[in-house]
Amino acid sequence: MDTHEQGFFTEENSADVVISRNAKAENARLAEVMAVITKHLHAAVKEIGPTQEEWFEAIMFLTRTGQMCNDWRQEFILLSDVLGVSMLVDAVNNRKPTGASESTVLGPFHVEDAPELPMGADICLDQKGDPMLVKGRITATDGTPIDHAKIDVWQANDEGFYDVQQKGIQPDFNLRGVFRTGADGTYHFRGVKPKYYPIPDDGPVGQMLKKLGRHPYRPAHLHYILEAKGFETLVTHIFDPDDPYINSDAVFGVKESLLAKFDWIEDNDRIQAAGMEGPYYEVVHDFVLVPTVSAD
């Protein structure tokens, strides 16, 4: 080996030496990614100056994180979430033109086969919680209403739990539904006012948050996946701006454009006009989808 060309590993040139060993990588993108990761990882180690004991504890933290993963829980995604990386990757991959609705993270509790319901249906099957009417309009960036847009919506209940978290307590598909718009692009459905809830905090990520003085809570929100032919799919939430955790979402998912006022309606005329049985929360939020780029 030509040691003069290769270079011996030193504290000063550590990253360059490691990166040079990957010069014959068959996958150019992998080599590029590993070069950037190696460069920043080595820089972090030099800046932090960890002791051997601290470095071993970091390795054990990652080990415990992996051991916590199973078919129903992904602790590494949770780690990505609380470090803001999930939202950053989402932002990088979902840059929107001015006026288009912004995206946010999918979350761990989406169910693929939620039932398709008639427009205006109530997705709350157990009738627990404060009634809520959600409505709005789905348009293109030029203001044209989108016909036959698919709206996949789901939410936590008034205690902060999704149906899949409370099997046998909540009915299957409680607070989930799929709707399709008509020619005017409008939508409306009924649910219950959601509540803030903690992300799973009984594992190494939760322990890390506690040591950092951070809470595990997400502010109250509704999830949406919006799909329409000729438009980019939008994965997003709408949030209650009055929630106590609105400015400190544990996974950094809140964006100002996704705030939707939850108005408590007690006026009898409005209650009757909305077809509700009594006072309810009204949430009005429009969505703007981006046309896909034509292959032509």
Would 294 be classed as within a structural domain? no
**Taking a C-beta distance cutoff of 8 angstroms, is the pair 236, 102 a contact?**
yes
Same domain, 133 and 237: yes
CB burial class (10 A; 0-12, 13-18, 19+) of residue 152?
buried
Same domain, 25 and 127: no
Same domain, 13 and 156: no
| Per-residue pLDDT at 1 | 44
Three-state DSSP state, 245: coil
Q: Which domain holds residue 110?
A: 96-289
| Per-residue pLDDT at 293 | 78
How many domains does the structure of the chain reveal?
2
| Per-residue pLDDT at 268 | 97
> Which has the closest alpha carbon to 187: 156, 146, 228?
146
Same domain, 16 and 145: no
**Taking a C-beta distance cutoff of 8 angstroms, is the pair 149, 87 a contact?**
no
**Taking a C-beta distance cutoff of 8 angstroms, is the pair 198, 217 a contact?**
yes
> Which has the closest alpha carbon to 283: 267, 259, 256?
259
Would 87 be classed as within a structural domain? no
Reading the chain (296 residues) residue by residue, the pLDDT tens digits are 444 455 799 999 999 999 999 999 999 999 999 999 999 999 999 999 999 999 999 999 999 999 999 887 899 999 999 999 999 999 999 999 999 999 999 988 899 999 999 999 999 999 999 999 999 999 999 999 999 999 999 999 999 999 999 999 999 999 999 999 999 999 999 999 999 999 999 999 999 999 999 999 999 999 999 999 999 999 999 999 999 999 999 999 999 999 999 999 999 999 999 999 999 999 999 999 999 975 44
What predicted TM-score, i.e. pTM, was given to this entire model? 0.89
Same domain, 173 and 271: yes
| Per-residue pLDDT at 108 | 84
Alpha-carbon distances of 168 from 176, 197, 210, 247, rounded to whole Å: 16, 20, 31, 34
Would 296 be classed as within a structural domain? no
Domain boundary among the residues 56, 80, 104 is at: 80
| Per-residue pLDDT at 107 | 86
| Per-residue pLDDT at 71 | 82
- Tokens 């509540």, residue located: 195
Same domain, 205 and 163: yes
Would 207 be classed as within a structural domain? yes
**Taking a C-beta distance cutoff of 8 angstroms, is the pair 124, 174 a contact?**
yes
Alpha-carbon distances of 264 from 122, 125, 149, 161, 284, rounded to whole Å: 18, 21, 28, 22, 12
Would 85 be classed as within a structural domain? no
Same domain, 172 and 266: yes
Same domain, 102 and 147: yes
Same domain, 112 and 65: no
226 Cβ contact partners less than 8 Å away, ≥ 6 residues apart: 101, 138, 149, 150, 151, 152, 233, 234, 236, 287, 289
Same domain, 263 and 135: yes
Would 86 be classed as within a structural domain? no
Domain boundary among the residues 22, 52, 80 is at: 80
Would 89 be classed as within a structural domain? no
| Per-residue pLDDT at 294 | 56
| Per-residue pLDDT at 73 | 87
Would 155 be classed as within a structural domain? yes
Three-state DSSP state, 262: strand
Same domain, 109 and 64: no
Same domain, 120 and 9: no
